[in-house]
Structure 1
Amino acid sequence: MKVKTSSTVPAYILPVIVVSQFAGTSVWFAGNAILPALQSLYHFPEQMLGNITIAVQLGFITGTLLFALLTIADRFSPVKVFMLSALLAAAFNLLLLFTEGHVSSILTLRFFTGFFLAGVYPVGMKIAADWFAANLGKALGFLVGALVAGKAVPHLLKGLGDTSMWKEVIIYTSCMAAAGGLLVGLWIKNGPHRTQGKKLSFHNLSSLFQQKDFKAAAWGYFGHMWELYTFWAFVPIMIGWYNLQHHTELNISLWSFIIIGAGALSCILGGYLSRSMGSAKIAFISLSGSGICCLFAPLFFVVSPPLFLTALLCWGCLVIADSPQFSALVSQTAESSRKGTALTLVTSIGFAITIISIEIMSYVVTANASMMPWLQDHKEISLLLLAPGPLFGLLSMRSLLKKYMP
């Protein structure tokens, strides 16, 4: 039987996967978006932002690690895994309506929401890789762009309303996630390039990193992840810092949506450019740009509001544009029968790194004044802690530049 090429893929496949990824991941930052309303109602401590973000990340890490250990995405139908995972993530997100301010319940539900998102994000990339053997960078550009937009949606819903609308944010995002899962389950079949995965073997996981090119792609991705989610988590806080310093009233939720959501466009643009420039070069350029933003971030807070927002918009575009290209490189450098497991495992480790980064940043920002008195009036200096990630990633992936360019 002749295997289909990317040119014979039905036109609806990529749009359906993209829309479903967008809808499925809308529950990711729902907790962050409604946190100000919950803090107003229940007087949560300042560090609740870090806790609620880490709960989702920890759940996602646990889920992706378990999925990788059990080789779920390679041994079972990724379409069915995606649908079931999206429905369960939506259900746990919806249960936030009934927590009545209990911190342990909120964090537990965010954990399980993140856990089942492990069957949405990396499995969505696996489905795309099964359909698009050629131009995978372009396909994943659209897919990760949808992920970015989905994560930004809760900020938009909140920004267009007020704190009293937090329940609507939860309801809308839960419905979107459930609809995304059903859309894939009802419209998409397993791709023609899918290879049946190997049986469960822990050696299969460790042997992945014995391949030089795979290791370079994975480590580049890890450096990228040190910066990405901490930046996203702290975008609302950065705008709040600027408002306090300059006595401005920038709409925190609306601008958070715009800054985070702008990354969707850069992912798509990077996907198109990868066809002529190669995924490695696009990833290298994007990671270099976001690293420069890390170094100059403290200076963003001394400029006028338009320049400040422009700088954050540029950062928001650069910080994510490399993500789909790193995923494409991971997929290209892994064995065909282990692509799903490789994507899931690398994603799991990458998100574990985000917890460390977010925890360090949260600790420094909320440190007692007696410990770091110089930081209390200049918290933006803490953003320099993001710079080592891009630097490590750039050094790790240099060997891929020539080999994975057209």
Structure 2
Amino acid sequence: MSSPWAMLGVVSLAQFLAMTLWFSATAVTPSLVRDFAIPAGQVAWLTMAVQAGFVVGTLVSALGNLADVVNARTLMFIGSLAGAAANAAVIIAPSSTSVIVLRFLTGAALALVYPPGMKIAAGWFRDRRGLALGLLIGALTLGKALPHLLTALFGDNWHQPMLLVSGLAALGGIMVLAVVRDGPYLAATAPFAPHAIRKILSSRGARLATFGYLGHMWELYAMWTWVAVFAAASLTASGMTNAGAAGSVAAFLAIGSGAAGCGLAGYLADRFGKARIAMWAMLASAACAALTVVVFGTSPFWLYALVMIWGFAVVADSAQFSALVSEHAPKEHIGTALTLQTCVGFLLTMVTIEGMPRLAEATSWQYASLLLVPGPLLGAWAMSRLKKPI
């Protein structure tokens, strides 16, 4: 099995399996809060620690140039197994602090899964790379949605979903090492050079692409982190019983619908331009974030419809930002530009992940998503400056 699409299928499946680790704790937050007596001020760190770990892992990998020292398939294998072990260890964690530390280690391990997977996929495609990477990100998006479905199925029994996703992640790592081969277009990873940051930012295209990505990240992970809580609050206000499980289903549908959004956006980006598709996606997601105020507490039908459309749009543009930075950054500093984009973007996610529940506490969950609206609007403005005429 050595066709590009077959290899993409295996890598995408492995990414799907490994990325179930990302929101494994977020999906069972109420149970973890209960069993570990996690203070209210630390709850957001169940997700924020993963973000911070991913940033540190990305920086260490870039500074050590691991992607060139170690084969990308081996990195994915190591990252998947290390992440699986850290995730499973939550079950025997002695305190809430140790849970947060284990979530940080999980995020650091996933830094060895996500970027190497992108590199492997890109190595099999020269043409239609936008579609290929869109499908890959769609697969990992679906993986991030799965824990919410497992929570709806298992309820308060959070040990079984945590162990299950650890097993899935380990399986994904084994699959990559055993089945996947390097593609004909596999390129060396450009090293990280901090002194080149000024040169990168002097490029108008790289600045706009990075600014657009930051607007995208301002919204994306906060939406993914809190959509289950928002949905449960809305469903409770509408009079639904067992709103917690229904909120988990809503989160699965919202995040999972992004897989289709990534695939369609990748297909369209190859035809209409990456910046234009990213702009359209961000305008749609900003509108959805604003409309949460309107649908809150109304019929569950409208809630489910909105979060699915929102989830479809909010991640649809994700694959296009890396491609845009690669196109506009100085060729000798592409690796630095991508590392800078990723690290600053994931650090920014921590602001809105922390900010949304604070706004909800000050007002209500009906208005919390308004915090996210400025990000995609500013990102869409940046893409409007970058897009090319059709």
Taking structure 2 as the reference length, what is the TM-score of the superposition? Answer: 0.92
1:343 maps to: 338
Does 1:137 find its partner at 2:130? yes
Percent identity among equivalent residues? 37
1:61 maps to: 55
Structure-2 change in CA distance of 1:122 and 1:339 (3 Å): farther
- Quote how far apart the aligned CAs of 1:107 are: 0.2
Answer yes or no: is the 8 Å Cα contact 2:360–2:368 preserved in 1. Answer: yes
Please give the secondary structure, in 2, of the residue aligned with 1:20: helix
Does 1:89 find its partner at 2:75? no
Structure-2 change in CA distance of 1:199 and 1:286 (3 Å): closer
- Quote how far apart the aligned CAs of 1:207 are: 3.3
2:179 maps to: 187
Please give the secondary structure, in 1, of the residue aligned with 2:5: coil
Q: 2:254 and 2:192 mapped to 1: Cα distance?
A: 41
Structure 1 residue identity aligned to 2:84 = A
Does 1:79 find its partner at 2:65? no
Does 1:238 find its partner at 2:230? yes
Structure-2 change in CA distance of 1:200 and 1:275 (3 Å): closer
- Quote how far apart the aligned CAs of 1:212 are: 2.5
- Quote how far apart the aligned CAs of 1:310 are: 0.8
Structure 2 residue identity aligned to 1:12 = A
1:397 maps to: 383
Structure-2 change in CA distance of 1:157 and 1:400 (3 Å): same
Per-residue deviation, residues 163-203 of structure 1 (Å, max 9, x unmatched): 12x11111111111111122222222333223334566432
Superposition map of 1:3-402 within 5 A: 9-100=3-94, 102-164=95-157, 166-197=158-189, 201-249=193-241, 250=243, 251-334=246-329, 339-366=334-361, 372=362, 375=363, 378-402=364-388
Structure-2 change in CA distance of 1:161 and 1:198 (3 Å): closer
- Quote the RMSD (CA, aligned, Å): 2.2
- Quote how far apart the aligned CAs of 1:88 are: 1.0
Q: 1:313 and 1:246 mapped to 2: Cα distance?
A: 18
Answer yes or no: is the 8 Å Cα contact 2:208–2:385 preserved in 1. Answer: yes
Per-residue deviation, residues 29-82 of structure 1 (Å, max 9, x unmatched): 001122222233344334443121111111111111222333333454222222
Taking structure 1 as the reference length, what is the TM-score of the superposition? Answer: 0.88
Q: 1:67 and 1:212 mapped to 2: Cα distance?
A: 27
1:369 maps to: none
Structure-2 change in CA distance of 1:178 and 1:334 (3 Å): farther
What 5-or-longer segments of structure 1 have no aligned partner?
Answer: 1-7, 367-371
Please give the secondary structure, in 2, of the residue aligned with 1:190: coil
Q: 1:37 and 1:178 mapped to 2: Cα distance?
A: 24
Paired residues, number: 386
Structure 2 residue identity aligned to 1:347 = T
Answer yes or no: is the 8 Å Cα contact 1:136–1:328 preserved in 2. Answer: no
What 5-or-longer segments of structure 2 have no aligned partner?
Answer: none
Q: 1:344 and 1:199 mapped to 2: Cα distance?
A: 10
Structure-2 change in CA distance of 1:18 and 1:174 (3 Å): same
Structure-2 change in CA distance of 1:47 and 1:9 (3 Å): same
Structure 1 residue identity aligned to 2:59 = L
Structure-2 change in CA distance of 1:208 and 1:356 (3 Å): same
Q: 1:227 and 1:297 mapped to 2: Cα distance?
A: 14
- Quote how far apart the aligned CAs of 1:280 are: 1.8
Answer yes or no: is the 8 Å Cα contact 2:193–2:333 preserved in 1. Answer: no
- Quote how far apart the aligned CAs of 1:390 are: 0.7
Structure-2 change in CA distance of 1:133 and 1:208 (3 Å): farther
Q: 1:180 and 1:207 mapped to 2: Cα distance?
A: 38
Structure 1 residue identity aligned to 2:219 = E
Q: 2:308 and 2:301 mapped to 1: Cα distance?
A: 10
Please give the secondary structure, in 1, of the residue aligned with 2:25: helix
Structure-2 change in CA distance of 1:76 and 1:232 (3 Å): same
Q: 1:53 and 1:318 mapped to 2: Cα distance?
A: 22
Structure 2 residue identity aligned to 1:398 = S
Per-residue deviation, residues 383-402 of structure 1 (Å, max 9, x unmatched): 21111101221122223310
Tell which has more relative contact order, 1 or 2 (C-alpha 8 A, sep 6+): 1
Per-residue deviation, residues 251-290 of structure 1 (Å, max 9, x unmatched): 1222211111111111112222223222222111101101
Structure 2 residue identity aligned to 1:288 = L
Structure-2 change in CA distance of 1:237 and 1:87 (3 Å): same
Per-residue deviation, residues 196-219 of structure 1 (Å, max 9, x unmatched): 345664324553333322222221
Q: 1:216 and 1:33 mapped to 2: Cα distance?
A: 34
